[in-house]
């Protein structure tokens, strides 16, 4: 949403989207619901962490760490960073609280805002909303497939169809050193600028992710990790694909995929929606075999994803999916006079206690204004109460879809509304 800023007023910081109404929460809560169904427990992460957590966990050569983090010194002189992603924080929490000392895998899900300093554009924000899951402690291809299936189920539950799952493997500890040496030899022959050569020195795989046409042209014929997998890594990748077939999750192989974070190994993936233009990724993730040990914990593997709620919402708008049309409330009270308001306040409270979303016309509006407010609320029914109704012990239940109206007993109003909502 956006609006003109009044003279002398304030506006949200640049690149920070704001959402009002059910559209955003429908997308977020649908993605969360699919994680809950697979047994992922909620974890509430800090909004900022020690800067070193991301430098070590995400990788100093990544654009996230080198260019995009919001880092600052607090009043105690400690360098802290607004969280740019969720996996490192989850792993830190698992280690700190000994969650890996119990039953494995540890299955956690999170949601909320994340922060990256980027040039704002459609689908790329400085405050982005994510839903993520992490399954830590078991290296099982079936668990990789489960993580992918949870994401796929979330998108499908929103009604999305115009996306694809791109999948590859980034190898293991046996694969990577040999492949890195071969890729380095290939890159040394290319005409690269100094910054790119430095990136190649630190992590040559990151060069494969370069989007500049002049670099992409030189990368034709580059060795690819998928062609250099160890026997174990290849078997793992084949098993993941077999399980995805069993789960009915479609995918395409993308051997050029690198992802923007250094900790990924083996299964690596991205969900892509071409209706979003250049910012087409709506979620991604993969397995990270060495991250726990890198951050001081046991040498346990993990796998997870981060799904972009903002971009998923944009994809829903492109496909006209996601929002089910449900109103802000189900029932809207329209009191005509002070005595009617006194009675309707109690009825609305009873409806809410019964689990029914209900609101009331406040501010002593007339019938016309109150009914406009009822229509704007998206309610299915209006409860209209005036002096004559009070005398008769009745209240009018008005169907806002077809305009029909019936009188119901005032003392039975809450129960009658509940029946109307469930029977209709």
Q: Which residues contact 347 (CB under 8 A, 6 or more apart)?
A: 333, 383, 395, 413, 414
Give the pLDDT confidence score for residue 260 in this predicted structure: 58
DSSP line for 329-374: -SEEEEE-SHHHHHHHHHHHHHHHHTT--EEE--S---HHHHHHHH
Residue 181 has, within 13 A of its CA and on its CB side, a CA count of 4
For the stretch 234-264, pLDDT in tens is 999 999 999 999 999 999 999 988 765 567 8
Give the pLDDT confidence score for residue 304 in this predicted structure: 97
For the stretch 22-80, pLDDT in tens is 889 999 999 999 999 999 999 999 999 999 999 887 776 677 777 889 999 999 999 99
Is-above-0.95 flag for pTM? Answer: no
List the one residue out of 127, 126, 42 whose CA is nearest residue 90. Answer: 42
Q: What is the mean pLDDT of residues 306-324?
A: 90
C-alpha to C-alpha distance for 188 and 309, rounded to whole angstroms:
40
Instruction: Region of 250 please: left (phi>0), alpha (psi -120 to 50) or beta.
Output: beta
For the stretch 156-212, pLDDT in tens is 999 999 999 999 999 998 888 888 899 999 999 999 999 888 888 888 888 887 889
Both tokens assigned to 190 = 């290319």
List the one residue out of 401, 403, 384, 424 whose CA is nearest residue 325. Answer: 401
**What's the count of helices (H) and strands (E) in the chain, helices before strands?**
15, 16
Q: Which residues contact 146 (CB under 8 A, 6 or more apart)?
A: 38, 135, 247
For the stretch 386-412, pLDDT in tens is 999 999 999 999 999 999 999 999 999
């Amino acid at each position: 949403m956006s609006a003109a800023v009044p003279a002398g007023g304030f506006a949200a910081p640049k690149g920070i989207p704001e959402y009002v109404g059910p559209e955003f929460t429908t997308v977020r809560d649908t993605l969360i619901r699919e994680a809950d169904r697979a047994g992922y427990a909620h974890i509430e992460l800090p909004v900022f962490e020690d800067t070193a957590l991301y430098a070590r966990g995400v990788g100093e050569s990544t654009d996230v760490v080198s260019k995009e983090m919001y880092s600052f010194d607090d009043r105690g002189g400690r360098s802290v960073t607004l969280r740019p992603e969720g996996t490192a924080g989850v792993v830190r929490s698992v280690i700190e609280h000994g969650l890996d000392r119990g039953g494995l895998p540890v299955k956690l899900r999170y949601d909320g805002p994340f922060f990256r300093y980027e040039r704002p554009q459609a689908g790329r924000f400085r405050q982005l909303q994510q839903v993520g899951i992490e399954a830590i402690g078991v290296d099982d291809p079936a668990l990789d497939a489960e993580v992918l299936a949870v994401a796929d189920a979330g998108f499908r539950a929103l009604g999305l169809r115009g996306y694809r799952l791109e999948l590859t493997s980034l190898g293991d500890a046996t694969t990577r050193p040999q492949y890195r040496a071969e890729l380095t030899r290939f890159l040394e022959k290319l005409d690269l600028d100094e910054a790119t050569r430095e990136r190649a020195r630190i992590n040559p795989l990151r060069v494969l992710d370069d989007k500049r046409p002049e670099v992409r042209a030189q990368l034709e014929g580059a060795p690819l990790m998928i062609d250099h997998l160890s026997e174990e890594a290849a078997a793992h990748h084949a098993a993941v694909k077999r399980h995805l077939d069993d789960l009915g999750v479609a995918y395409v192989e993308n051997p050029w995929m690198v992802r923007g974070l250094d900790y990924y190994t083996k299964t690596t993936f991205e969900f892509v929606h071409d209706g979003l233009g250049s910012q087409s990724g709506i979620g991604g993730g993969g397995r990270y075999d060495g991250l726990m040990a890198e951050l001081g914990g046991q040498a346990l593997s993990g796998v997870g994803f981060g799904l972009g709620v903002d971009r998923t919402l944009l994809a829903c708008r492109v496909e006209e999916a996601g929002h089910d049309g449900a109103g802000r409330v189900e029932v809207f009270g329209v009191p005509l006079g002070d005595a009617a308001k006194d009675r309707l306040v109690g009825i609305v409270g009873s409806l809410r206690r019964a689990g029914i979303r209900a609101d009331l016309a406040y501010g002593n509006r007339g019938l016309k204004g109150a009914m406009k407010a009822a229509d704007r609320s998206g309610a299915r029914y209006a409860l209209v109460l005036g002096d004559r109704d009070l005398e008769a012990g009745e209240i009018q239940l008005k169907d806002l879809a077809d305009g029909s109206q019936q009188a119901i007993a005032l003392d039975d109003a809450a129960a009658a509304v509940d029946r109307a909502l469930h029977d209709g």
